[in-house]
Amino acid sequence: MSEPRTLLKALIDQRKWTWAVFEREFARAAARVIGAGFRTPTVGETQYRRWTSGTLKGLPSADACRVLEDMFRVEASALFGPPPQPSEPAVAQFDLEAEIAMTAREAQDDAGATAASSLSDLTIDQLRDDVYELARTYSHESPVEIWRQAKILRDQAERHRDRTAVPAQQQALLIIAGQAAALLSTAAFDLGSFDGARRLARVSALYGETARYEPLQAYATGNLAYIAYYSGEQSQAPVHARRALAYAGLGNTAVRRLHAIEARAYGHLGDKPSAQRALALSQDTGVDGQDELHDTVGGEFGFTDERLAMSTASTALLLGDGRTAESAAMRALELMAARPPRHRSSEVFGKAAADLAMARLLSNDLDGAAEAIETMLSTLGTHRGTGLVARALTLRQALTRKHLRSAPLTTDLGERLEDFTRFHSHRQVHSPCSAPALDA
């Protein structure tokens, strides 16, 4: 038997499907995804042969792509590309996990489809669990994978909204779709797409407004603040931060996060008194209030002590306070090291190490900076998002200062930093990081 030329054919072979079985499964998926009617795509045997032979130029129709993505849980562009090589690691495991996930979701969709004018609450519970799990595992996945999963979840929530007239279910699905849009916004930012991140943050805020769910509005508006100061709209950043703080129903975690973002916003503007005031408020534990999004869900929606310490270091660097920056960055690294490996964020760890290196460069401690840079350089390429790449670019620029550039160690560090920024997640969207800056 000849080797399959497309991932689609490889997955079909793996399932031992004939054309007749594929046609039946495609029809079932089309009914779920598109619905019955004249727009529902079908597939004939000749078309099936073209799809699996590797001779198709471009992609099938958008509706057909949506159906195939629902069937195999893989982007259409990948399905019509070549299959992974056997030498690539974890291919078998990936295929098995994809098969299990596809079967579970198909069974869930089929069971949910038996409902009449409402959905089973179990269907909504599963979607909610899925978006919660994605938020909590954000720091361990690549932005590209987060993007793929969050896109599927938002699409599912929207499709299910058309199948229920129950107000409480409509609200729950709006919140789930809004949370997925917020994760899409964060992933777009980490991939270097500021326009996409800004648009998706507004979409998330709109979902929150429609659902009357203010913690989501506050989170999304906070995202708009750091996107603004990062993309050169520094004057708008504190405006967004103050607007986010005005929402009701926020717990202490949300308030601390927003004050930390506000402090960096003022730091980018060079407004030291306002930045210091916001920084002090971000350290204040305040009342022991909680909200569901930032505290119960947590993960990417949360704001851990180490993230606060890292943010404090970033703001201190913007204010030229190297001593505070060094102390805060070291605290962030210590807090991270005390956590079990599965609970550590690789990117936050890398950002804190980069801030520590910059703080030491401010005091002309080149050896200490080199030690911190070594820690930062260990961050995997798939976890090198916008904030970390920007810090690496800033460090590279700092090493060109006259009193540093003649040292042999500086040359080696500079070359390694250039390699570090060359292999980062932005390459996924071919959008290079903008001018060096300190980020969220």
pLDDT by residue (tens digit) across 203-230? 999 999 999 999 999 999 999 999 998 8
Crossing angle for the helix pair 167-190 and 143-161, to the nearest 10 degrees: 160
pLDDT at 91 over 50: no
The closest alpha carbon to 143, from 384, 354, 420, 421, belongs to 384
260, 282 Cβ separation under 8 angstroms: yes
The CA distance from 162 to 170, in Å, is 9
Q: Which two tokens stand for residue 394?
A: 């800033």
Residues 6+ apart with CB under 8 A from 308: 256, 257, 260, 282, 283
pLDDT value, residue 221: 97
107 vs 294, more confident: 294
85 vs 373, more confident: 373
pLDDT value, residue 439: 39
Mean pLDDT over the full length of the chain:
84
pLDDT at 437 over 50: no
48 vs 209, more confident: 209
Q: What is the pLDDT of residues 263-284, one digit of tens each?
A: 999 999 999 999 999 999 998 8
Q: How confident is the model at residue 111 (pLDDT cuts 50, 70, 90)?
A: low
pLDDT at 260 over 70: yes
Lowest mean pLDDT segment, chosen from 27-36, 138-147, 217-226: 27-36
Q: Once rounded to an integer, what is the mean pLDDT over residues 186-197? A: 91
